Amino acid sequence: MASRSFRLVTVLAALATAPGALAAPAKGPRASTKHSFKVNLAPLPPSEKAAWSHAPYEAGDCSICHVNADPKKPGPVAKAGNDLCYSCHEEFQEVMARKYKHPPATESCLNCHNPHNSKEKKLLVAELGTLCKDCHRQIKDLAEKSKVKHGALDQGEKCANCHNPHGANIEKLLIQLPFDLCVNCHSVDNMKDHNGVTLTNFKKWLQENKVWHAPVAAKDCSACHRTHGGENFRLLVAEYPAKFYAPYDPKNYALCYGCHNEKVVSVPETKTLTNFRDGTRNLHYVHVNKPDRGRTCRACHEVHASKQPHHIRDGVPYGPKGWILKINYTKTPTGGQCAKTCHETKSYVNRPAAGGPAKR
């Protein structure tokens, strides 16, 4: 138990100090403050039909910002740098005084905004996702080339669903703590993944299931998931089987074995490695360790949160339509029991009854 917790601490520490290293398969250049495209700061010619126009530009008086009122010769701007913008957008001085500042915004608001008009909303010089990914090439690769993509990056405000492009009080320019971001968006009943499978309403699930798995209780969804895209099922940081049955191979469970001892499943007989045993017969081995149809951990465990101890689930989605197979697990004074599920009622004994030694 102690060594497992130690592993968790190590994993969390690694994530805290080097999230970039874990999130990105390849080392790419750091973001530069330079765009790959030429930023056009002039008003769009009427032929290009700007969809959005800045209120002071719309007013028609160029001298609101330039030294001259004449649209043909507005001349230079009257105030240098971001101070021109702050003269009306006062609140942005506070935003830019936050603990974490976005370097391109400190440098110049014009890295991202056209001061006159634009085809893009919020006067952006390019479509929001393209704009961010133009400087953040590593994230661009994750978002576009990963096998499993995360819808959070494509819908709504895209990157700005989670990041403030100007400044923030949370590191990585996050608008909320990561756990709150995840749970607040995953808080609807009808969210579907790319294959049309309905996803869990995590806000509700975590409220209704009080036994939280340690990394969830530590509010660290990233201990297991990659936010921007990944190579594994469900954006997981390491391999985990996608189905109810899978042939047993420890590498398919790299996710769990990153923190738990593989011997929980690989050793047929034990008195110490697992409590899911009947006497010395390792029932993890019996259920999971099969060359063809081994049951995956999800057959019994709900990895986020459950009502039962040991993260035993009440029911498990079985078959392609997700029909729920009830588990009916009960913890008993000497072990546990499953009733009318995959098999008739079966119990296991892993400790002596009060006052006597274990029978098996």
Which residues, numbered 187-216, are part of the site for ligand HEC (CB under 6 A)?
A: 191, 193-194, 199-200, 202, 213-216
| Cα 225 to Cα 69: distance, rounded to the nearest angstrom | 55
Minimum CB–partner distance for residue 23 and ligand HEC (Å)? 4
Beta strand ranges found along 135-266 (DSSP E): 167-168, 211-212, 245-246
30 part of the interface to ligand HEC, by CB under 6 A: yes
Among residues 285, 288, 313, 334, the one that binds ligand HEC under rule CB under 6 A = 288
Residues in contact with ligand HEC, total (CB under 6 A)?
Answer: 138
Identify which of residues 109 and 209 has a Cβ nearer to ligand HEC in the complex.
109
Minimum CB–partner distance for residue 204 and ligand HEC (Å)? 12
113 part of the interface to ligand HEC, by CB under 6 A: yes
Minimum CB–partner distance for residue 116 and ligand HEC (Å)? 6
Burial pattern 126-161, b for ≥16 Cβ within 10 A else e, equals bebbebbbbbbbbbbbbbeebeebbebbeeeebbee
- What tokens were used for 159? 């990157």
- What tokens were used for 275? 């409590």
User: Strands 323-326 and 315-318: what pairing?
Assistant: antiparallel
| Cα 93 to Cα 84: distance, rounded to the nearest angstrom | 11
Residue span binding ligand HEC (CB under 6 A) among the ranges 304-312, 318-326, 352-360: 304-312
25 part of the interface to ligand HEC, by CB under 6 A: no
> Taking the CB of residue 202, how many other CB atoms lie within 10 A of it?
21
Query: Please, are residues 295 and 304 in contact by the beta-carbon 8 Å criterion?
Result: no
Minimum CB–partner distance for residue 307 and ligand HEC (Å)? 13
145 part of the interface to ligand HEC, by CB under 6 A: no
Q: How far apart are the first and last CA of the chain?
A: 24
Among residues 50, 117, 120, 131, the one that binds ligand HEC under rule CB under 6 A = 131
Question: Site map for ligand HEC, 316-355, x if CB under 6 A?
Answer: -------------------xx-------------x-----
Binders of ligand HEC in range 42-61 (CB under 6 A): 42-43, 52, 54-57, 60
Residue span binding ligand HEC (CB under 6 A) among the ranges 24-32, 318-326, 352-360: 24-32
168 part of the interface to ligand HEC, by CB under 6 A: no
347 three-state secondary structure: strand
Task: Compute the C-alpha angle 343/348/352, nearest 5°.
Answer: 165
